[in-house]
Structure 1
């Protein structure tokens, strides 16, 4: 069993949890509300080890949001406790017969409620509930979790974003009038993001509000200006065109792919390309300090993710790692990226929560879900620290958008004034082999001879004074001229609202929901022997299984 060097907050949380659960025994639930990246997994695993050593529990069950997080849990839990943890991601495992500690996805609970219930009744069990916002009382997962773990001896709840976007209350806890989880202070440990930054557990973050103005060309040749900072004014005749106002929403335009005349080649003069170019320039700066630093793109749907990946390949000359639910071995792709020095990872929602890739420092954020919960979860992917000598910052590149701006401002207010100040551009670069500092223009490390990759910095010329500026500059560093650009787009392009599959908008969550429900429902239908019903369900496309589950739950 490995000796764990705990952070002070982890030691305090562990002591408080043991006192609450074992000594006072007022309630069997303990809540840890700590910022993403602060180290909740290690903290919870040590609590489990202490309860095992005190002969308070026999088994541990962890419920996590997705398969990659389940794998991470099993690895870190074994390091801390020395005990193996069986990973359960399907809905038909005989978990009561395993006799080991278990880690399962939230979706797996739906088909394994009875099995989990038997485990909790047969053994003194600690349940660790990771990303607790998934377990809303009225949602299927919350209802199943409440039934499955009614007989658990202890429940340890972990969250970094305790409020669900739909307003529903997660199972086991209520909320007070201010929207805070209503649980006794003695049974709760809280570490805010601002506290985590001040203590050096998380990296400070800078939000780049990426401005832009779209010029939408109508069929009659007229142009309409759309920006993220002003309302779009339409004349009386234009207001009569059905769907036009919705199509001219700035955020929708920011998420609309733009191609060249061939309809296949991404336009490197598009708004999305300008976001990526800003992120590329900033990643280049960070990699002077952290040679393997990486960037993450979160897209609103699969089509835009593929478009952004193709754009990155054009801009960088290197194909990024692309992961989404329709690609084979998506979890293996994530693991591979984590263990390489590849520059960019592009996804929809598979990396938005729980996945621990400490080298990520840039987030290009074009999400489908515009909620504070999703915003903070995504932000948590790039604020993790690499250790005591990590003085880098995290950066989020996002459209200038009222809702996202509000979330960013709240995060900024959590940080101290000193933490809000951006780092100056680096003046040296770190050798990835021996960590020696070298001049930025060095071709080889002066200490070990390592050859630095050749990546000439891109500059842009100011149209007013001709001065060269870093590509990420928002305005000329000499004369102050704004570099804001009008992005040309046609009405037909503006009306393309995402990936259309069989006439429907197909989002990542719907694909994942379909995958989670298909095996269980299909098994039950085949077992019924009803030929007519079997014939119908065999024709269902992947994305329809989740919708079918919701329909069945209403009946």
Structure 2
């Protein structure tokens, strides 16, 4: 049975298509049920004899497989791309391998194209596109009779325009055809109401070869010293304290929900291994770790989804689109500090399940940007997230980490079935730079601030 918002959005999309318009853009909170919505619209278009084939595109193999399963169940026909199927679900990366012969064959049919997490595809025309955006504009836009663009976080950290999106003014304010906000989803019990714990320290000291400085907050220390945020998330004292809070919360949730689980988003493989060891040795937790160095990370994620293990530690593998409803606690320990990534990480614990307690907790440090994002979590599309064509995309310390991520050129470039390559090189580089820093950072007298959204 459809949720009310899904029914409303499906009706709006069908009405727009029948009026002669080809494109529809839906922004809905992470975990609200966008895939079921898309499959429902596809089913109605097929019933109305408006389309012959359905093509789904998404940023990872995990999401593509999930869409294939959902569409096949709702349409009652396979979405395998094989003979007898109603279409195919593929990654954006695989689009570059679609040849002209296949596109010519598609022109014989009426195609409904679904673009999930469309914010990964940038550009308004071929000349200003990233790799994925160029493939969408050059190939699929030409053959699609109707298209549906979906996103829970419809903006980009590099402020490029999103493919298939409309902007209402010179500032580039995004216009969507239907919006289902996080506040609405929480009110409707479709998503969990998030609580964000910002961990800080009253007593920080930075001891160098010849100097020693003291500070009363993480933000002050970062502002007044040459230390970067990476030195905080790699600090042993800081990690132990934050992980302790998160483990205590998860243990409390598991009293009523024995299957509840937690996610730690790390910044590098080395960092992830360090975190996993702390979870085991300091807190006696059961863990799984997934990184780009694993031979079958997607299979490992699937095993965790169906297990009762407490924690999964990830490097760039579970930031977006991965459906693990038993996740209720998350530790954001990534070096990436952008609105987009923050929202995507938070989204992993917002999906409701059948458990008794539907709490969602995110633990991170009180770095200035992250504090700002937490305070504005009730804004589904932050005012700053518009297309403005800036000369630079972010703070200097984030540029290296974001270079591959925001441009799209390296997302899954070496492996069309996944997106594990999107920040690997840069994250490992940051980790090595942090370990080479000569200053010794000490954090004590911890405190925390809890932001309860929609409270």
- Please indicate, yes or no, whether the TM-score normalized by the shorter chain is above 0.5: yes
Number of aligned positions between the proteins: 393
- Say which SS state the counterpart of residue 322 (structure 1) adopts: strand
Question: Contact 1:109 / 1:144 at 8 angstroms: preserved in 2?
Answer: yes
- Say which SS state the counterpart of residue 143 (structure 2) adopts: coil
Within 1, Cα distance between the matches of 2:223 and 2:411?
43
Question: Contact 1:96 / 1:115 at 8 angstroms: preserved in 2?
Answer: no
Instruction: For residues 289-340 of structure 1, give each alpha carbon's deviation from its aligned partner in whole angstroms, at most 9, with x where no partner exists.
Output: 2221110001122221121111111123244111111111000011111111
Within 2, Cα distance between the matches of 1:232 and 1:50?
54
Within 2, Cα distance between the matches of 1:189 and 1:132?
15
1:175 aligns with 2:132: no
Within 1, Cα distance between the matches of 2:52 and 2:91?
21
1:209 aligns with 2:105: no
Question: Contact 1:120 / 1:151 at 8 angstroms: preserved in 2?
Answer: yes
1:276 aligns with 2:243: yes
Instruction: In structure 2, list runs of 5 or more residues that go unmatched.
Output: 124-128, 381-396, 417-423, 427-455
Structure 2 partner of 1:368? 335
Question: Contact 2:130 / 2:409 at 8 angstroms: preserved in 1?
Answer: no
Structure 1 partner of 2:270? 303
- Say which SS state the counterpart of residue 220 (structure 2) adopts: coil
Counterpart mapping for 1:235-254 below 5 A: 245-246=225-226, 248-249=227-228, 251-254=229-232
Sort the Cα spacing of 1:207 and 1:78 in 2 relative to 1 into closer, same or farther, 3 A: same
Q: CA offset at residue 255 of structure 1?
A: 2.1
Q: CA offset at residue 179 of structure 1?
A: 4.8
Question: Contact 1:309 / 1:319 at 8 angstroms: preserved in 2?
Answer: no
Question: Contact 1:324 / 1:348 at 8 angstroms: preserved in 2?
Answer: yes
2:98 to 91, 112, 116: 112
- Say which SS state the counterpart of residue 277 (structure 1) adopts: helix
Question: Contact 1:323 / 1:330 at 8 angstroms: preserved in 2?
Answer: yes
Larger Rg, first or second structure (1 or 2): 1
1:404 aligns with 2:370: yes
Question: Contact 2:205 / 2:215 at 8 angstroms: preserved in 1?
Answer: yes
Within 2, Cα distance between the matches of 1:339 and 1:331?
13
Within 2, Cα distance between the matches of 1:350 and 1:74?
19
Sort the Cα spacing of 1:332 and 1:506 in 2 relative to 1 into closer, same or farther, 3 A: farther
Structure 1 partner of 2:63? 69
Within 2, Cα distance between the matches of 1:506 and 1:12?
36
Counterpart mapping for 1:59-458 below 5 A: 59-86=53-80, 100-112=86-98, 114=100, 117-137=103-123, 138-149=129-140, 150-177=142-169, 179-182=172-175, 188-212=177-201, 213-220=203-210, 222-225=212-215, 227-231=217-221, 245-246=225-226, 248-249=227-228, 251-256=229-234, 258=236, 270-387=237-354, 390-412=356-378
1:15 aligns with 2:11: yes
Instruction: In structure 1, list runs of 5 or more residues that go unmatched.
Output: 87-94, 235-244, 259-269, 415-496, 499-503, 521-541, 545-555
Within 1, Cα distance between the matches of 2:14 and 2:5?
14
Question: Contact 2:289 / 2:312 at 8 angstroms: preserved in 1?
Answer: yes
Structure 1 partner of 2:389? none
Q: RMSD across aligned C-alpha pairs, in angstroms? A: 2.9
Sort the Cα spacing of 1:100 and 1:299 in 2 relative to 1 into closer, same or farther, 3 A: same
Within 2, Cα distance between the matches of 1:366 and 1:507?
19
- Say which SS state the counterpart of residue 316 (structure 1) adopts: coil
